[in-house]
Structures are given as structure tokens and as C-alpha cells.
Structure 1
Amino acid sequence: MDCFPRDYRPEDEASWLRCRVLSFLGTPYYDNVLPAKPTMAAPGCSLVVVDDAIDDDGGRGSGGVVVGCLDLAVDGALATIETIAVHPDHQRRGIGRALLAEAAARARAAGATTLDAWTRDQPESLAWYRATGFVESDHYLHVFADAYADEGEPARAVERPGAGLRPVGVFSHASLEREEELRARFQRVHVCRRFSQPLAPVD
């Protein structure tokens, strides 16, 4: 299969959603499920790699299956990867790198000088970002308080619940300085890391 990124099309949505959720399933983002694809405002873009040899839409002729996707937001000099996902059956074939190269070229063309991405603490993802030229910089915590993990977690996360409300799950941000304290109180704490790389100007 050739790894040629193209622009996302509305008819790709169902396949895009499946690719993203299956890619995230084995990562710390396993519960980050979207019911619809977000729109990326120009000059940002949405890219996909499609395997035309596969048709998983019941023969409706969508033109193949999305096996990789990348959403890019551009705000002045900063371009941010909002989503990058490669279907688990198609990983380690250069799809992610092909998407990244195309996104970086488009970000440069839009005037961005820095490309960044935020990700959690999965060793394979961290290694991939480093191997593709990103440098780790800023950090903060993603803290999950989940009654199904520990009945007391949500109460520990919310000091004063509203009248008649009993938290069942809480997702919070916290400074990295509180990592040891929060890991002692909650089962699921991730370090969210910023990776970035400079973009050379377009000649």
C-alpha cells in the first residue's frame, strides 16, 4: 500500500472515526472517543491515508478505508497536531511519518514556524515524536477521578459537590509539581507533554 496523504473528505468520516478509536484503544487516550469528526478551520487541514484495496462500508463505494489521519490547527506562527492516528493493523509502515511530512509542509506554507503536539505518557508515542525531530518541553498533569476505579476518588477531587450532585468521574488538569501527591490519591494520572519542532521557512 502506498502512503500518499490526501485531504479528508466528508465521506471519509465513518472510516476516520473507526481509525482514530482503534488507534487510541491501546494508548492512554483509550476513552477519548468522538461521535463526529471535528472541523479544522483554514489554514489548518485534515489529512488521511486511505487503503483503496479495503472496503469496509458495505459496498457503498467510499473509496477505501482510512488507515491514518492527522488534523492540524494553525494559529499564526504555531501549528498544532490535534489528532494523529494510524490504524493498529497498519502501523510501522511509514504512514505516520508520511502524514507528518505533509502536515509540516502545509504548516510552513501557512506561515507557521513551530509545529507542536501534546501527548500523554505512552513510551511508543514518546519515542516516535523524538525520532521524528520533536523536542519535549512543557508538561502538566491529566488527572482522572473515577468511581469505578475507587469509589472515593471523585469526592477527593471535588471539595464541595453541588447540591444533589454526586460526582462519578472527574477529569482535571494540574501542575507537574503536584505529580507525587496526586499519584498517591488517584489511580489514573498522566503527564501530558508538549513536543515541538521548528519549521524552516518556505523558500
Structure 2
Amino acid sequence: MQFSEILGQEYIKSHLTKSASSGRIPHAQLFVGPEGSGTLPMAIAYAQYILCNNSSTENEGGNESCNLKFDNISHPDLHFIYPTVTTDSVKTKPKSIDFLTEWRTFIQENPYGGLFDWYRTLGVQNKQGEIRVEDAESILKSLALKSYEGGYKVIIIWMADKMNIPSSNKLLKLLEEPTDKTLFILISENEEDIIQTIRSRCQVLHFNGLNENVIAQALV
């Protein structure tokens, strides 16, 4: 995901690239914005910039084979956590890894989509998903391993306000004692729904909704 593919949000693009290029990467960041503002594609572009050692505001250069892995969202040091629900194929204790194929399809087909779009991808519009403790435990296992390419490990938690209490508590411990070269990017439309102790440990970036001119230009 290139920064140039993301609609608007020029200030945030500039802030992220400059801070990364200068080595100032806070270990926990919270992207807050309304549906359609581009928080998820921005997080992925930022992860690509860091993991692939890219440069310039357009997220170019760096490691070519690394950049290619982002074409299908398959970089081994990029991990996703997102709300899940029980389905016909996953009847108990659903977790993000159980729906990785659907998640990659969702990102590629509807990167600006919201929760309803994600549930529709899963075929469960009538259920409410959550992020469970099993997901937090999977993060712990991932962080216990060395990064595949010797650099950062990036964990993107989409709709972080959907974490239940047990998963929030486990994540809080990780944020309090961060491992070296680990970046957490939490994404939410509702900042106040994330427990305050987690918010206080994150650098918060607020995204504005896209104005009509930006959207119109993208449709031309």
C-alpha cells in the first residue's frame, strides 16, 4: 500500500514519513478517524514504509522483495488483529488468524470499509464481533519469535475499541513492557471506547473525514 494511493490526509502522511525517516517511531500509536477516512490503509502504508526501509513521501525505494509482499498483504512481520464472530466454519473461540484469507480480500477490495462491510465479507451482518483474549495471546506468541527480516514487527489492531476486557488487559501489559523494534498501531472510530490506560500509552493521531473535493478527484 503506497502513501500515494491514500486519499487526502497529507499532513499525517508527512508526519509519519518524517518521523520514521528520522528514527522516531513511538512503539504504540492510535489512529482515530471516522469510517472512510483512511486509517487502515494509512496504517498499512506506514508499516510498509518501516518494514521495507522505504524513503520519500511516496513510500518508494527500499527492499523490492519486501514491497512486493505488501501487494497481497503477506509480509511475515506484519500482523493484524480485528473483530471476529462465530461462523459456520468457526463455531467457538474465533480469532483473527481464522479469517486471514477473508481479511486480505477485504483490505484489497474495500480498504476504506467499516465494520458492517467487514461483517458482510464474513456473511454475518446480524452479529456483533469482538477482539478476544485469544488474539492477545497470539500477539504474545508472535512477539516471542524473532522478526523474519531482522527489523521491526508491526501489529495493526483494527477497531481496537472492540477489545473485550481480558484482551485489553493483556494488551496493556504488552504496551507497558514493549519489546525492542515492535510497533503497535491501534485503529478506532471511537477513541473514548478504548480503556484510558491503553490510550495514555499511545501517541494519538486524529484523521479528519475526507472532503467532497478529494473524493471527487479520486473518482475522475
TM-score (norm 2): 0.30
Task: Decide which structure has the larger Cα Rg and report it.
Answer: 1
Greater relative contact order, per chain length (Cα 8 Å cut-off, separation 6+): 2
TM-score (norm 1): 0.32
Name the structure with the higher helix share.
2
